[in-house]
Structure 1
Amino acid sequence: MDTIQTQVIIVGGAVAGGSLACALAYQGIHSVLLEKRKTPTDLNRGDGMQPRSLEIMEEWGLLSAFEKAGAIPAYGIEMYHPFLGKLLEIDLGVVKTAHPHLLNLPHRDIEVLLLEHARKSGYCQILYGNASDLIMEEGRAIGVSATIAGSEIEIYAPVIAGADGAQSALRRKIGIEVAFQEYEHDLLVLHAQRPDWFTGKLRTRVFLHQDGAAILLPLPDEKVRLALLVPAGQGGQWKMMTEEALLHQLIKRNPRLGDLKGIEKQGEHIYRMRKMHAPTYAAKGVVLLGDAAHVTHAAGGLGMNMALQDAHTLAAELASAFQHRVSFDQAYSNYERLRYPVNQGVIDRAEFMSKQLWTPSQRAFWGRALSLAIPHYLLPFLWKKITTSLAWRNAGILTPTPAKRSPFPALIVALYRLSQGRIGGHSHQNPVLLLSTQQENNKMHTVPLLFFPKGDQLLIVASNGGSDLPPQWYRNLQRNQQVILHIGSTSQKALATVADQDLHAELWPWLIERYAGLEAYQKKTPRQLAIILLQQEVPTEKKEPEFVAIGAK
């Protein structure tokens, strides 16, 4: 029997598996991806990638491929009531990101591009076949047996990732039990030509109706994705309707939908609406992501984005494990601590949105409409704050809750440099240095940080004010450990290393004796605040390069 040895085995090759393969390749980690299907299905699934996902894809070097494939920008959501007019507009333009919009592309094309990128990276081997069983040793999975082109093979790796969907076989094999909550409605998905009135700044348009909302999502080639909420179990009746009968039903939902032409019934799909969140993301050496770990109502349109962002976080944590900074179990735990509250927040918001879209009684229909109309028309200042918050949440940028961005770090950097450390050189009775790390665009990111001398090394802490997200400078040095320190009037190169678990346990009490604020930050987040050791090189006499001060986040 043939055997393969790799670093990570990925079971499942849809968006979750393809994203993880890309994320691992970015981290320089080899993987073998097992997928049953040689070509993606034509099922109509999520088509929109939110701004946070676009940031990640740009980091992976994948964004341009999506743009070349014809993905179109969409700038938020508009919600219309048949009598009260436009009740809600979520404008992603208010989000401070390089990509204040969604990118919409048919789901099938998204899967293809992810797998193609992973394959071309040279870090991922894609095998088409069935994962037969887990290979266990002392109660822990160490590999997968699979059938590839009729031959049995065994694949071994220290990490096995289950990206095999909502009915995950791996999840069952490792004993993680889940409960699905069914909704009272299903979702019928069709495609049509984009109507003439669907112009201007493209946003998803939601037309509310007591029988269930109709949703139009703009797609490339002047098309739209049409999603209709229908009573649970009645999807088959809708699929059997003639085009004339279907148009009649659409006009009942909203007269403007009568302008839809070229409705494509081939490939139509009925989604059973349900939700699920696994109690844990890892067991017996197997870690779950995407639909294997959580299922959300399609109202938020974010299931695919959850999977992609799971992959990004998991790969970063696995990189630490492969660099022997943490154990694999600790990497799984860190991944779960970071992603679980974010994913639960998405599930909860989708639940809330579903209640706006499915209002089977007149009382519910008008009650929920008025809950939006009253602040919209009578409390405009409050409504603006609400819609701005919704925009950030729909962008995925503010989750998990980060420390607020402040202009002061950039000001401190400027004053520190001008005064050669005489201004801004101390805080909370501890010295301050400027740390410069290299970003993906090769520009330097410079921030002021408290530091704590210990022997011939300097210690700094990735606190980020107690945010659930690590600071940008920490993410930069995970990719490139070479940094530049500015202390007073001197600039020195240094090598940054992250303290392992044993060293962290030894240093943490010593650090909080010197600055009690660190303990307060740690209490605000489940993320363990990393301790970084800076080993200085000989001070350089060379001219200091131009740095871009962009704040402490």
Structure 2
Amino acid sequence: MSEQQQTEVIVVGAGPTGLLLAGDLAEAGVRVLVLEKRGAAISNLSRAFAVHARTLEVLDARGLTDDLFALGGSRLGELFLFGSAKVKLSGLDSRFPYVLMTPQYHVERVLRERAEAAGVEFRFDCKVTGVDQADGRVTVRTEDGDHCATYVVGTDGVRSSVREAVGIPFPGEAVLESMMLADAELDAPPAHSPAVGSAGGAFCFIADFGDGTWRVIAWNAADQRSEDAPVTTAEIRTALKLAFGTDFGMHEPRWSSRFHADERQAPTYRARNVFLAGDAAHCHSPAGGMGMNTGLQDAANLSWKLAAVLRGADAALLDTYEGERHPVGEAVLRTSGRIIRVAANKSKVAKVVRGAVLGTAMRFDAVQHKVTGQISGIDVRYGHGHGEHPLTGTRAADVALADGSRLYEALRGGRFVVLDGTEPTGALDAATAEPDGLTRVVRPDGYIGWAGTDDPAAVRDYLDTHAGKH
């Protein structure tokens, strides 16, 4: 067959979002082509560094957490924000009650290896120059020729060629200019990681990768330079001294870069058969470390829907991608924006009030639950329609099954799992989950798609509409 006949989905961009999406599709039997403008080597430079609990659950449902942990990193059960404000991730209702601090390239490595093993085809050094749609097919134009598929997903970052080619705007604004990133060793590291400091018109964030390297994010209101100006060690040390009173004995960075933090979101994530995910759909400040995580969860939401529709499920299923993920993107922009604006506030009075108020508020369980749920992604839920059970759209917690496996192990391979809580000998192990008279259909992304009293016909109808021919 020709390439046009073979390829069902083209993914543009081989960052974490694109790699997860491509791997999911390939494991579901979909023919996938990934186009990437960079070379084939996985970069040892990393912008993202935090893998939150919900993302670890997503990776667990693909059998990848052990591989990621083996590459190194530090697991933090507490985050310290602005001195006395402590976020206690250790209380999360998850197998992963912490944030894993590890470079983005570690995440990319395990996702690339999985995608390659599943049969994903990669074209590197391949720059997209245009996108055309006609007769239910999408043609992606590149400098090396045309590539056609039924669906295309742009996961090609904030300067997405796919988004621009299909005419989807990307409104928003720059929150902070001239922010600096660097990875370096510290002779006298802070007592807690990550550490956040804000004083003297400077804001800095420091996090331990667990291998002797520390990620430093720094901003100094009094020293704003153009984005193409090289970052100097002196600039970073000055910002650290202003924010913390010390530069922690920072060595010459292994690498550094300058960027501006934007808050932008595409008003729609879809143009006919072309979709956007990850930074191509939304971007925000690095505060909270939610960017890569949000993109990976975009991919987990979209992948099973594309696979199902390609295998005969109702095409209207694809409309739910934007409906479910766009509000999540909005919420992440709000949360990240609040954190960065509070951190960058130069008023000394505001800083004193901030520390006192946040420190007190975080002592209340309800506040802790809300903050940890938002940052970790554990509390994300998708709205349910009129007449649907209240559990519909909520995250399914990992549980032990009657055969000794776990729910998230059963989800591997992009499967739906029906949990029968009506009989002690059903799919749930009575020792770990009390029968409650409810049947739950868990989607491949780990969210409950249908719930209700035992109704085999309703379950079959749901699967016929949502699962396709698996």
Pick the TM interval, shorter chain.
Answer: 0.7 to 0.9
Q: Does 2:243 correspond to 1:253? A: yes
Q: Does 1:345 align with 2:331?
A: yes
Partner of 1:314: 302
1:135-284 matches, within 5 Å, as: 135-138=132-135, 141-148=137-144, 152=145, 154-196=146-188, 198=190, 203-231=193-221, 234-235=224-225, 243=233, 246-255=236-245, 257-264=246-253, 266-284=254-272
Q: Cα offset for 1:463?
A: 11
2:371 to 369, 390, 399: 390
User: Which secondary structure does the structure 2 equivalent of 1:115 belong to?
Assistant: helix
- 1:30-84 per-residue CA deviation (whole Å, 9 max, x = no partner) reads 311011112344544111111111111111122122111113312231024xxxx
Cα pair 2:230 2:258 within 8 Å, conserved: no
CA distance in 2, matches of 1:260, 1:352: 30
The letter for the 1-side match of 2:346 is P
**Structure 1 gaps, min length 5:** 81-85, 414-431, 451-459, 475-484, 488-492, 505-529, 533-553
Cα distance, 1:136–1:373 mapped onto 2, change above 3 Å: closer
Q: Which residue of 1 aligns with 2:109?
A: 112
Aligned to 1:94: 91
Matches of 2:467 and 2:15 in 1, distance apart? 36
1:46 alignment partner in structure 2: 48
Shift of residue 364 of structure 1? 3.8
Q: Give the superposition deviation at 1:363.
A: 4.4
Per-residue CA distance 1:216-242 (angstroms, 9 max, x = gap): 111031221011123398145997676
2:129 equivalent to 1:127 = no
Structure 2: distance between partners of 1:296 and 1:251: 26
8 Å CA contact 1:434–1:446 kept in 2: the answer is no
Counterpart selection for 1:78 from 62, 77, 80: 80
Q: 2: distance between equivalents of 1:461 and 1:53?
A: 22
Quick check: 238-247 or 170-179, which moved more? 238-247
Q: Hey, what does 2:288 align to over in structure 1? A: 300
Alignment correspondent of 1:8? 9
Contact 2:102 2:209 in 1 (8 A): yes
Q: 2:448 aligns with which of 471, 479, 483?
A: 471
**Change in 2 beyond 3 A, CA 1:361/1:53:** same
**TM-score, length of structure 1 as denominator length:** 0.68
CA distances 1:475-531 after superposition (whole Å, capped 9, x unpaired): xxxxxxxxxx999xxxxx999633489xx8xxxxxxxxxxxxxxxxxxxxxxxxx79
Structural mapping, 1:17-32, within 5 Å? 17-32=18-33
Larger Rg: 1
How well do the aligned residues superpose, as a CA RMSD in angstroms?
Answer: 3.8
Higher strand proportion:
1
Any conservation in 2 of the 1:190–1:269 contact (CA below 8 Å)? yes
More relative contact order in 1 or in 2 (CA 8 Å, sep 6+)? 2
Q: In the alignment, is residue 286 of structure 1 matched against residue 242 of structure 2?
A: no
> Do the aligned partners of residues 174 and 393 (structure 1) sit closer, same or farther apart at CA in structure 2, a change above 3 Å counting?
same
Contact persistence 2:437–2:454 (CA under 8 A): no
Mapped contact 1:9–1:33 kept (Cα < 8 A): yes
Q: Classify 1:498/1:217 alpha carbon distance in 2 versus 1 (closer, same or farther; 3 Å).
A: farther
Q: Secondary structure at the match of 1:331?
A: helix
Partners in 1 of 2:104 and 2:141 — Cα distance? 29
Distance 1:43 1:16 in 2: 17
Same amino acid, percent of matched pairs: 21
CA distance in 1, matches of 2:163, 2:426: 39
| CA apart distance, 1:446 | 8.1
Task: Compute the displacement of 1:178 (Å).
Answer: 2.0
In the TM superposition, what whole-angstrom CA distance separates every residue of 1:386-424 from its partner, at most 9, and x where no partner exists? 12321122211111269689xxxx9xx9xxxxxxxxxxx
The residue type paired with residue 145 of structure 1 is R
Q: What SS is found at the alignment partner of 2:171? A: coil
Give the SS at the match of 2:61. Answer: helix
Following the alignment from structure 1 to structure 2, what is the Cα–Cα distance between the partners of residues 76 and 333? 38
Deviations 1:270-320 (A, max 9, x none): 121111111111013101101111111111211100110000000122233
Aligned residues: 430
CA distance in 2, matches of 1:313, 1:386: 28
8 Å Cα contact 2:442/2:449 also seen in 1? no
Q: Show structure 2 runs of 5+ residues with no match.
A: 384-389, 403-420
* 1:290–1:308 CA contact under 8 A, matched in 2: yes
Distance 1:438 1:121 in 2: 29
Distance (whole Å) between structure 1 residues aligned to residue 262 and residue 235 of structure 2: 28
Distance (whole Å) between structure 2 residues aligned to residue 343 and residue 178 of structure 1: 13
- Measured at CA, do residues 91 and 28 of structure 1 come closer, stay the same or move farther in structure 2, by a change above 3 Å? farther
1:3 maps to a residue whose letter is E
Kept in 2, the 8 Å contact 1:22–1:60? The answer is no
Q: Is this contact kept in 1: 2:218–2:236, CA < 8 A?
A: no
Partner residue of 1:416? none
Closer, same or farther: CA 350–245 of 1 in aligned 2, 3 Å:
closer
CA distance in 2, matches of 1:495, 1:388: 34
Per mean C-alpha deviation after superposition, the further-off stretch among 178-187 and 232-241 is: 232-241
User: 1:273 and 1:437 mapped to 2: Cα distance?
Assistant: 50
**What does residue 319 of structure 2 align with?**
333
1:20 match: secondary structure: helix
Distance of 1:401 and 1:212 partners within structure 2: 38
Aligned residues of 2:50 and 2:101 also touching (Cα < 8 A): yes
State the alpha-carbon separation in 1 of the partners of residues 108 and 223 from structure 2: 29
For residues 78-103 of structure 1, the C-alpha deviation after alignment (integer angstroms, 9 at most, x for no partner) is: 024xxxxx321111100010111122
State the alpha-carbon separation in 2 of the partners of residues 46 and 285 from structure 1.
29
Q: Scaled by the length of structure 2, what TM-score is found?
A: 0.79
Take 1:462 and 1:107, find their aligned partners in 2: how far apart are those partners? 33
Shift of 1:156: 2.6
- CA 1:13–1:197 in 2, change beyond 3 Å: closer, same or farther? closer
1:400 is aligned, of 376, 381, 386, to 381
The residue identity in structure 1 corresponding to 2:96 is H
